[in-house]
């Protein structure tokens, strides 16, 4: 049986470790969540989430530099500053905020759950498919958002040793906020299915209210 953890414990660090985690969570997510999520070892997960945001935002800015924030600086510098803010500030803050939301939900539906660090890791690794949404193709974003949410539910079920309905309940709000709003699944769905255009914003607002 293939194992995803190093003999000394935890996941392999560095670019090779990131690449392995990315491939493994997409190819064999059940085994990955079972073996590679370790209590108190959230640093690799945080780096993974930051790397996903780096790829997404870097791709978007490369394809459309006008997406950069309006800094009083040359276009390339404004893009670099925008990318740095997204990766170094927004990604870690959003990951921990969403983990707190899911932790509260788990407290209600799964009393014998794992710790907060495991939730951080599950949310981080479940975002792997979202690395492809930077191409800004609605169909791609739509598929990747659903894929990421499925990984989040699966990871929550495995890591926190709970039932599928409870995992779905715990993952619903953070998943909607992360993939629906954060990675653009709502906008993509409205583009792919125009009849949902009036509904998608309300779903996002409802999730935000529930999170509060």
Domain assignment present for 9 = no
Task: Give me the percent of the chain exceeding a pLDDT of 90.
Answer: 59
Only one residue has tokens 């990766």, namely 87
Residue 2 has pLDDT above 50, yes or no: no
Q: What are the pLDDT digits (tens) for 147-161?
A: 999 999 999 999 998
Instruction: Name the DSSP letter for residue 155.
Output: H
Domain assignment present for 26 = yes
Residue 4 lies in a domain: no
The residues, any chain, with a CB within 8 Å of residue 21's CB and separated by 6 or more, are 4, 11, 32, 36, 44, 48, 125, 128
The parent domain of residue 21 ranges over: 14-211
User: Is residue 113 in a domain?
Assistant: yes
Q: Domain tally for the chain?
A: 1
Average confidence score pLDDT of the chain: 86
Any domain includes 203: yes
Give, for 121, the enclosing helix (H) or strand (E): helix 116-126
**pLDDT value, residue 66:** 87
Q: How far, in Å, CA of 158 to CA of 4, rounded?
A: 15
């Amino acid at each position: 049986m293939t194992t995803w953890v190093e003999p000394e414990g935890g996941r392999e660090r560095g670019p090779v470790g990131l690449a392995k985690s990315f491939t493994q969570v997409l190819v064999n997510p059940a085994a990955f969540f079972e073996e590679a999520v370790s209590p108190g070892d959230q640093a690799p997960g945080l780096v993974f989430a930051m790397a996903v945001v780096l790829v997404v935002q870097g791709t978007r800015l490369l394809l459309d530099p006008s997406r950069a924030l309006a800094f009083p600086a040359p276009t390339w510098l404004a893009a670099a500053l925008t990318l740095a803010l997204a990766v170094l500030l927004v990604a870690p803050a959003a990951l921990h905020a969403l983990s707190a939301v899911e932790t509260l939900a788990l407290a209600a539906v799964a009393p014998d759950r794992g710790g907060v660090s495991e939730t951080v890791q599950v949310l981080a690794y479940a975002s792997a498919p979202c690395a492809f949404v930077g191409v800004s193709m609605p169909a791609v974003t739509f598929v990747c958002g659903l894929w990421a949410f499925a990984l989040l539910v699966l990871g929550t079920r495995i890591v926190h040793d709970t039932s599928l309905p409870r995992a779905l309940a715990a993952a619903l709000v953070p998943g909607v906020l992360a993939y629906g709003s954060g990675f653009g699944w709502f906008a993509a769905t409205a583009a792919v299915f125009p009849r949902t255009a009036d509904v998608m914003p309300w779903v996002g607002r409802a999730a935000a209210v529930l999170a509060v």
